[in-house]
Structure 1
Amino acid sequence: MKKSLLTAALFGAVSMSAHAQSSVTLYGLIDAGLVYTNNQFGHSNWQEVSSSTQNTVFGLKGSEDLGGGLHAIFKLEQGFLLNNGAQAFSGDGFGSQAWVGLQSDPYGTLTFGRQFDVMNDLVGPLTAESNTWGGNMAAHPFENDNLAANSVVINNSVKYASPTYHGVTFETMYSFSNKAGNFANNRSYGFGLSYAQGPVNLAAGYLQLNGAGNGGGAVTSGDTSANFLAQRQRIWSLGGNYTYGPATVGLVWSHTQIDNASGVFSFGTGTYLGSDDASAGTLAGSLRLDNYEVNAKYALTPALSVSGAYTYTHGAYNGSSPGWNTGMLQTDYAISKRTDFYLEGVYQNVHGAPADSVLSHAMINTLSPSSSNTQVAVTVGMRHAF
């Protein structure tokens, strides 16, 4: 009898241990370098900066095996600026990501919290701006389509990601305003679909933001999570790339509709550029933007690569037709699996925008706006992942 009880107890302990297997990982990425810009508010500038290409972050992520192919998962991630230690999202303890959820091998993943949107998850990786070989500085004007490396993070969100079936993955999300009597103000929702099989990658998505920046809803302006302050922002995107040996070539299109806009944020200054900012002009009314990107990367050796991207952005704003030309070239050399050095140049020119509008000023992402319609920036930097 005693042997039977002991055997049962040991079997129970082993079973509990098997079902309680868990792991917690500390991780991060540091991106720092020097940037020369020919024009910021009318002056040339040398800067020591952080996150020119990839966001500088540290975080914790974990998983617990609940048995039967089910896992409890979480991620807590903070973005920061290496040069001064400041928070990337002002006032947020874990501004980059903060979520918890369940992952099922056969049924998919359901997560709750502050997360990246589904279009950023699936279409973003097909762009130069979301990758190490282009990154934040290569973003489309004003990061209008949220395809760069996770600059907009959405609060109060519930997201579902399907398992991958024959190369196809589906994601959808809904983000609450959390406002009594004002359910639709500052909420967000979207969906995305991707296909990856062999050398071919395709993806498409839709994202809508209602009243971004108002109060403590889905997207807030207090921590500069919002790109635009507007009544409504709708984004459609479609992209694909093809890999052949050491070469990858991609095409991306996105369409952004911004209704009743009142301003846009500059990621270089972290400040709102609206009617009270005489150096950048005003932004009011409806804005339509179509971004057409072609990008390419070529690995010369396993350690050395070159890449480039060109984006033409066509706009419609209060009877005008502004246009942007944005070009990027980068070379990167990895000295190990976790450490690399890069040299990147970005050029942007805007034409056709009203002279009294913020749109008439070139503004490479992460940098303060130019006083003219042209801006050129060159950065040399180092990245280290841990």
Structure 2
Amino acid sequence: MKKTMIAAALLACGSGSAFAQSAVTIYGTVDAAYVRESGGAAGTSNKITSGAAAASRIGFRGTEDLGGGMSALFTLETGFRLDTGEVDSSGTIFNRQAFVGLKTRAGTLTVGRQYTPWHQALTQVGDPFSTGYAGGAKNLFPDFGSNVRASNTVMYAAPATAGFTADIAYSAGEQGGDSSAGEQAGASVGYASGPLNVRLAYNHKNSDVAAAPGVTPVNRSVGRNLLLAANYDFKVVKAYFAYSKDEGFNSAPLGNNSNPFGGVPPTASTDGNEMLLGLSAPVGAGTLLASVMRKDDKTSFNQDARSWGVGYLHPLSKRTNLYAVYGSIDNENGAGYTVANNSESGTGDRAFNLGVRHNF
């Protein structure tokens, strides 16, 4: 059960009115797993890891009623490694999410470090594994780096109307002398009604480096990602679909850039697409998950890949699950795709996860 505190308890000087209208919620995920990875040049790896299903984290979420249908809100969320107790990104505090905003009847405006609309569409709509576990979309889809989260972001989300949703985001590059260098933008539009949930998302990323004293300017092609994600609940089974088209520099970053299989060095595609077909189905007390994916690299390297994954989630309560998941990748022409999980990019073309996840 989420732990809720009155915000005025944190603000000792707050008034009685603030005490009644403001609240802060502490939430998080604690996830640990045994992970076995094989097929890479470094050989088989057996380890205890954190966040195979969903990254271990602790967060603070707050709201304040400002009256007239307006409220203030914030989220501060940090990740940590359960296996070692360390933060999962050195030199950061709230590396996962850190934003503040206002919500009105006209929509919600937030400012700070946030998830991209492209990532949200893949996680919430297109992937039965929600981009976690050994079977998740991260195995072939470019769900890494700033495709997942972007700093310096202003995002507007329209209120849901008759099943339709929409959002738009802009991330400033913050490089002097060139307003477009380093900037990123994204948007999505979706429709959810009854058993159908579909969303179209776009991501636009400029990786240029602006000229500055001691800095050589760099001009690169703009990275673009277009994603169509959908699922349909047939009751006995829920079907999933995702298709992403990627073009330009850094549009499809590899999770593991260190030549994990030896031989021909893998090269991040600058022209390609990915497709996923998946399902989730109730089996016994738990849920069966499965997906198949393929990567079509249209560059001259032709580094295609295919992947499949299957898993079973067994609930011990509403907040605690056991899981067992297996994923496999078939790389072609020196492609370097690795079986990932939610928190790690992976080291080989096969992996098994056995773990427990608790949400609070």
Fold agreement, TM-score > 0.5: yes
The answer for the alignment partner of 1:139 in structure 2 is 137
Distance 1:60 1:382, change over 3 A: same
The residue identity in structure 1 corresponding to 2:184 is S
- Given that residues 40 and 261 in structure 2 are in contact (C-alpha distance below 8 angstroms), is that contact kept between their aligned partners in structure 1? no
Query: Is 286-295 or 93-102 further displaced after alignment?
Result: 286-295
* Pairwise CA distance, 1:364: 1.4
Q: Does 1:328 align with 2:324?
A: no
Return the alpha-carbon distance in structure 2 between the equivalents of residues 236 and 282 of structure 1: 27
- Given that residues 128 and 135 in structure 1 are in contact (C-alpha distance below 8 angstroms), is that contact kept between their aligned partners in structure 2? no
Alignment of structure 1 residues 236-385 onto 2, 5 Å: 236-259=226-249, 264-266=254-256, 273=258, 279=262, 282=265, 287-301=270-284, 303-317=285-299, 319-353=300-334, 360-365=335-340, 366-370=344-348, 375-385=349-359
Return the alpha-carbon distance in structure 2 between the equivalents of residues 248 and 135 of structure 1: 18
* Pairwise CA distance, 1:184: 1.2
The answer for the alignment partner of 1:220 in structure 2 is none
Q: Deviations over 1:100-154 (max 9, x none)?
A: 00011x211000000001122234312226628x5475224464155x9x98320
The answer for the alignment partner of 1:165 in structure 2 is 161
Alignment of structure 1 residues 2-151 onto 2, 5 Å: 17=17, 21-104=21-104, 106-128=105-127, 131=130, 135=133, 137-141=135-139, 143-145=141-143
Distance 1:142 1:91, change over 3 A: farther
* Pairwise CA distance, 1:325: 0.8
- Counterpart of 1:101 in 2: which secondary structure? strand
- Given that residues 19 and 66 in structure 1 are in contact (C-alpha distance below 8 angstroms), is that contact kept between their aligned partners in structure 2? no
Q: Deviations over 1:180-232 (max 9, x none)?
A: 112111110011001000111010010011118x69xxxxxxxxxxxxxx753
Distance 1:261 1:384, change over 3 A: closer
Return the alpha-carbon distance in structure 1 between the equivalents of residues 139 and 198 of structure 2: 23
Aligned residue-pair number: 334
Distance 1:242 1:284, change over 3 A: closer
Please report the RMSD computed on the Cα atoms of aligned residues, expressed in angstroms.
2.9
Return the alpha-carbon distance in structure 2 between the equivalents of residues 292 and 339 of structure 1: 31
* Pairwise CA distance, 1:262: 11
- Given that residues 262 and 283 in structure 1 are in contact (C-alpha distance below 8 angstroms), is that contact kept between their aligned partners in structure 2? no
Q: Deviations over 1:75-120 (max 9, x none)?
A: 000011111123223321100000000011x211000000001122
- Given that residues 261 and 284 in structure 1 are in contact (C-alpha distance below 8 angstroms), is that contact kept between their aligned partners in structure 2? no
The answer for the alignment partner of 2:223 in structure 1 is 233
**TM-score normalised according to structure 2 size:** 0.84
Distance 1:362 1:262, change over 3 A: closer
- Given that residues 319 and 359 in structure 2 are in contact (C-alpha distance below 8 angstroms), is that contact kept between their aligned partners in structure 1? yes
Of the candidates 159, 184, 189, which is equivalent to residue 193 of structure 1?
A: 189
- Counterpart of 2:249 in 1: which secondary structure? strand
- Given that residues 112 and 154 in structure 2 are in contact (C-alpha distance below 8 angstroms), is that contact kept between their aligned partners in structure 1? yes
Distance 1:264 1:281, change over 3 A: farther
Identical aligned residues as a percent? 26
Q: Highest CA radius of gyration, 1 or 2?
A: 1
Return the alpha-carbon distance in structure 1 between the equivalents of residues 322 and 265 of structure 2: 38
- Counterpart of 2:44 in 1: which secondary structure? strand
Return the alpha-carbon distance in structure 1 between the equivalents of residues 126 and 19 of structure 2: 40
Q: Indicate the structure whose relative CO is greater, using CA pairs within 8 Å and at least 6 residues apart.
A: 2
The answer for the alignment partner of 1:9 in structure 2 is none
Segments of 5+ residues of structure 2 without an aligned counterpart are 1-14, 211-219
- Given that residues 129 and 289 in structure 2 are in contact (C-alpha distance below 8 angstroms), is that contact kept between their aligned partners in structure 1? no
The answer for the alignment partner of 2:6 in structure 1 is none
- Given that residues 361 and 369 in structure 1 are in contact (C-alpha distance below 8 angstroms), is that contact kept between their aligned partners in structure 2? no
- Given that residues 122 and 193 in structure 1 are in contact (C-alpha distance below 8 angstroms), is that contact kept between their aligned partners in structure 2? no
Distance 1:19 1:67, change over 3 A: farther
- Given that residues 40 and 368 in structure 1 are in contact (C-alpha distance below 8 angstroms), is that contact kept between their aligned partners in structure 2? no
- Given that residues 246 and 252 in structure 2 are in contact (C-alpha distance below 8 angstroms), is that contact kept between their aligned partners in structure 1? no
Segments of 5+ residues of structure 1 without an aligned counterpart are 1-14, 216-229, 267-271, 354-359
* Pairwise CA distance, 1:22: 0.7
Return the alpha-carbon distance in structure 1 between the equivalents of residues 133 and 222 of structure 2: 26
- Given that residues 33 and 380 in structure 1 are in contact (C-alpha distance below 8 angstroms), is that contact kept between their aligned partners in structure 2? yes
The residue identity in structure 1 corresponding to 2:67 is G
- Given that residues 264 and 273 in structure 1 are in contact (C-alpha distance below 8 angstroms), is that contact kept between their aligned partners in structure 2? no
**TM-score normalised according to structure 1 size:** 0.79
- Counterpart of 1:81 in 2: which secondary structure? coil
Q: Deviations over 1:271-310 (max 9, x none)?
A: x548xx9958646686222111001000124x31111000
